[in-house]
Amino acid sequence: MRALRGLLIVAVLLVAAKVAAQEVSLGGGANPDAPAIAISAFDMVGEHREKMVRAPDSWYARVALSIGFLAPGSTIVIAGPSIPGTGAAENRLVYPYPDGARNEQLLSGLVYGEKLTVAVYSPQLASADLAISKVLRQEDPLRPWKSIFGDDDQTPLLRAGRPDLEAVSHSITYLSIVTPSWDLENCSGFVVGPRTIMTNNHCIANQAECDGATIVFDYFVDKFDSTTMGPQVGCEAVLTTDFDLDFTVVRTKTDLPASAVALSLLATAPLPDEPAVLVHHPNGEPKTVSIIGCLPIDIAVAGRGNPPSSKDFSHRCDSAGGSSGSPVLVSRVAGGTNGFCVGGLHHWGFENSGDYRDKNRAVMTSAILARTKAENIPILECN
């Protein structure tokens, strides 16, 4: 996380991140013997209880709480340190329980900083029953998975000097996904409608993975090395998913930021060698752009599936683990969003085996549109 990539230090269960992009696992896993921290072990601070936990080498963390009982009017606050002048100035997540809770699970969004504090406020604090069951951390991968052509030209988006890309980037998201096995995975995605996000099937394939997903907007690092993280929304439901085309469309639990407008999908194939741009979150890092040498190569090549369909195109846009689900953008004056159309859904890196060894791959959006139309999922088109 650049300037804020300090220590999110956690003393309970530590689960290192697994980078999901391009279907590559970089390790991680849960320790089934790690003890939970019950509220009885929390410190009494004024009229509430809180517990500070630490996690070495983490960019940010998510917390799982097991709630046995909370009285109506209770609130849980999960917070990191306040860092004025950065996106961590209000580095806290608030979960109100106006009607109380009984036998529920809470999986938090993302908090970053050097410490993590879980606080419980309740009008009946003595009867509150909960425990910190797991803390999941996002850490810098020891061997980042990269698919690079020549020099690594991936650039933090706010340092690229492209106001046109800054405008469209508000619609491109970072996905932090906790799997049912408690792995923490990274992907990218983008807005395709009101409360509607598209990503890869290998990122979110079912409701359980949707339940574990937090979708983060406006996750940037600027030229001064300060990191900001915007609104976070949960995943409510999978609207459709397709293994062969490697795409999923989900509905979010809440409305999206006003700046996150729907992107338009190209109804035809992109042109070989036409200039393109990949906006993505490689390895779970702030929003990044690949511009230099980014262009489609071969059109209508073998993609996913058995037998594989010819619904992919290869491209030369630098990418890394975490880039899966990001849009390959092409310029279109008419019918696009802020001058861009999504020409492809990036999903493979060239370090994979078989036909994917020497080129990145994206699914043609024309094939995705055929499927979403058949299921009456409205998505904007451009030509």
Q: Are residues 95 and 181 in the same domain?
A: no
Q: CA torsion angle for 342, 347, 349, 352 (degrees, to 10)?
A: -160
- One domain, residues 376 and 344: yes
Both 51 and 103 in a single domain?
yes
Average pLDDT for consecutive 10-residue bins of the chain (383 residues)? 30 36 31 72 95 79 94 95 59 94 95 84 97 83 56 81 92 93 90 98 95 94 82 96 96 97 93 90 89 86 79 83 89 78 85 54 93 94 88
Boundaries of domain holding 335:
144-383
150 φ/ψ angles, rounded to the nearest 5 degrees? 70, -130
Domain boundary among 124, 139, 154: 139
The CA distance from 57 to 69, in Å, is 33
Task: Give the integer Cα–Cα distance in Å for 23 and 14.
Answer: 23
CATH of the domain at 131: 2.60.120
User: Where is the domain boundary, 86, 117, 139?
Assistant: 139
Considering the domain architecture, whether residues 179 and 261 belong to the same structural domain is answered as yes
**CATH code where residue 313 lies:** 2.40.10.120
Residues 226 and 332 in one domain: yes
Alpha-carbon span 64 to 207, nearest angstrom: 18
pLDDT at residue 108, as a whole number = 94
| Residue 367 and residue 225 share a domain | yes
Q: Is the same domain home to 95 and 158? A: no
How many structural domains does the chain have? 2
Domain boundary among 139, 167, 194: 139
What is the pairing mode between strands 172-178 and 43-45? unpaired
Q: In whole angstroms, what is the distance from residue 170 CA to residue 95 CA?
A: 25
3 state DSSP class of 282: helix
174, 286: one domain: yes
pLDDT at 19: 37
Residues 242 and 378 in one domain: yes
The reply to whether 121 and 214 lie within a common domain is no
173 in the same domain as 63: no
Structure pTM?
0.83
- Which of these, 341, 339, 333, lies nearest to 369 by C-alpha position? 341
Instruction: Determine the pLDDT at residue 371.
Output: 94
Residue 341 β-bridge partners? 330
Q: Is residue 38 located within the same domain as residue 74?
A: yes
